[in-house]
Structure 1
């Protein structure tokens, strides 16, 4: 970076996040004067004031706010670039797969077996992500591939192969007005309350109401049992079914696709071989 040194940017980010030089120095495990000098050098380099300092407080200037917003992306990009370079030169690199617990539609064991049978197979390290952050793991270089659900997960910057397409089911409390039905349509669910997934933009229809914010399927099921919401989820995500809830197929809901995703710029044979094995295993099932 012509105008930015990564260490100076790291020091500034620590101060900006804590709004306290002492706390930032403690987090960085360096002396406080070193942090102050680094931020001053960065301000001179950029020709703007990033922080307003007083004897009692530290606040961000508009320039500081902008650098805080974009600086984390810059540091992540530098870290990801270094990690990708190391892994590209490591002939013994493991393949890192990120999934959500239960988010493999029972395909994972077949995929791993198909990959292990290939002559170029490497060890696969499985990592578990949350409901909304698995794509970020791949974009940031913390994982090589991810199992994601379209259209729910953001596939920006990723290539992907569709493994299966499945229907969706409505999950309802046992005393729901539709409890006697064998199946429902989206029109039947108009005016119902749907959960809001933390970190995901609202995707419910205009005629549905926004319900409680949730982070995973366990929270959703608890809210359904309490009568606070219903949910419409891919069929594989509701296995095994909870005995206290109702599961009704939504006959006209768009299909949900389980996809294997990887970075658009990742052309390593390591990744290509795993993708080919996954597609082969999904087709065989």
Structure 2
């Protein structure tokens, strides 16, 4: 049989992450012999060896590495299904909309106002996250919809509605000579002595190569720019969180960014449909903030 139980997957993931049956058993709150027996039964049913064992612990085989990756995704999907089911059963629950803190601020304001006037509008709760986190909120069932940005955010597997397209700006320290310019090019901002471009996580979680600092949060980035330690190129509407110590200069040849509203296909409820209609009904022009 190819059927796998979630209990088996949880057991295997614990062993695969700990690489030690004793520690994994403690983590799961079960006896070690029972855990060892369950993993051997799983290997027997699949017809492959998942772990190499010795007295010091365990190591994943090639098959084990594949199952660890697949098991993690499967357990996440099961947890997301449970969250969405519980949320769907609560008629009074608000829609959860997740967006990057500081991004598309004017659009979000307009969307909430427009949606509140819709006759079938459900309450909307806004969840603010850091860069690149919206996809995880949608996939694990913590959010119903998200405001995201192509090509920077991970839109794989989601349905989307394009809202507007905009250019990008360089966010610079106010005292820097380039801050007095009316416009810049990518070539000019990529090679500024002593002011490297900040590096955000890529879609796979890794950072691109370069001399700029690795940044994790908007607040961290804002302070580094104000201190003259870095610059960055961002969608023009993201200037809502700009400090007085920052200056935004248009980058004329930067790729355009498309703001979208996104949702998992499996979560397209009447309430989500109403919010998407409200978003699609906004003027498709870039906000001015």
User: Which among 183, 194, 197 is matched to residue 197 of structure 2?
Assistant: 194
The answer on whether the counterparts of 2:98 and 2:145 sit within 8 Å (CA) in structure 1 is yes
Question: Who is 1:218 aligned against?
Answer: 219
C-alpha spacing 1:25/1:116, structure 2 compared with 1 (3 Å): farther
Could you say which residue in structure 1 is the equivalent of 2:46?
A: 46
Name the SS for the 1:96 alignment partner.
Answer: strand
Counterpart CA distance in 1 for 2:149 and 2:116 is 24
1:232 Cα deviation from its structure 2 partner: 0.5
Corresponding position of 2:71:
71
- How many equivalent residue pairs? 282
Residue 153 of structure 1: how far off its partner (Å): 0.7
Deviation at 1:116? 2.5
Rounded Cα–Cα distance in structure 1 between residues aligned with 2:31 and 2:130: 36
Q: In structure 1, the residue corresponding to 2:178 is in which secondary structure?
A: coil
The alpha carbon displacement at 1:86 in A equals 4.5
Q: Is the 8 A contact 1:146 1:261 kept in 2?
A: yes
Query: Is the contact made by 1:107 and 1:282 (CA closer than 8 Å) also made in structure 2?
Result: no
> In the alignment, does 2:132 pair up with 1:132?
yes
Tell me what 1:12 maps to: 12
Contact 1:4 1:45 (C-alpha < 8 Å) held by counterparts: no
Matching residue of 2:159: 159
Please list, as runs of the form range in 1=range in 2, the aligned pairs for 1:1-285 lying within 5 A after superposition.
2-88=2-88, 90-174=90-174, 176-192=176-192, 193-200=196-203, 209=210, 211-281=212-282
Once superposed, what is the RMSD of the aligned Cα atoms?
2.8
Q: Residues 3 and 45 of structure 1 are in contact (CA less than 8 Å); yes or no, is this contact kept in structure 2?
A: no
Q: Aligned to 1:106, what secondary structure does the other structure show?
A: helix
Measured after TM superposition, the shift of residue 275 of structure 1 is 0.8
Q: Per-residue CA shift, 1:97-119, capped at 9, x if unaligned?
A: 11222223223333223223223
| Structure 1, unpaired ranges of 5+ | none
Displacement of 1:271 in angstroms is 0.8
TM-score w.r.t. the length of structure 2 is 0.84
Gaps of 5+ in 2: none
Residue 248 (structure 1) shift: 1.2
How far residue 184 of structure 1 moved from its aligned partner, in angstroms, is 1.3
How far is the alpha carbon of 1:236 from its aligned partner? 2.3
Q: Structure 1 residues 24 and 124 mapped into 2: Cα distance closer, same or farther (>3 Å)?
A: farther
Q: Name the CA distance, whole Å, in 2 between partners of 1:116 and 1:23.
A: 51
The SS at the match of 2:254 is coil
CA shift for structure 1 position 65: 1.4
Alpha-carbon offset, residue 228 of structure 1:
4.0
Contact 2:163 2:259 in 1 (8 A): yes
Q: CA deviation at 1:93?
A: 4.3
- Cα 1:243–1:87 change in 2 (3 A) is closer
1:42 CA displacement:
1.1
In 2, the alpha carbon distance for the partners of 1:86 and 1:240 equals 35
**What displacement does 1:167 show?**
2.6
Distance 2:202 2:33 in 1: 37
1:115-157 Cα shifts (integer Å, max 9, x gaps): 2322322232322322112122213332110011222112111
Distance 1:159 1:210 in 2: 36
* SS of match in other structure, 1:211: coil
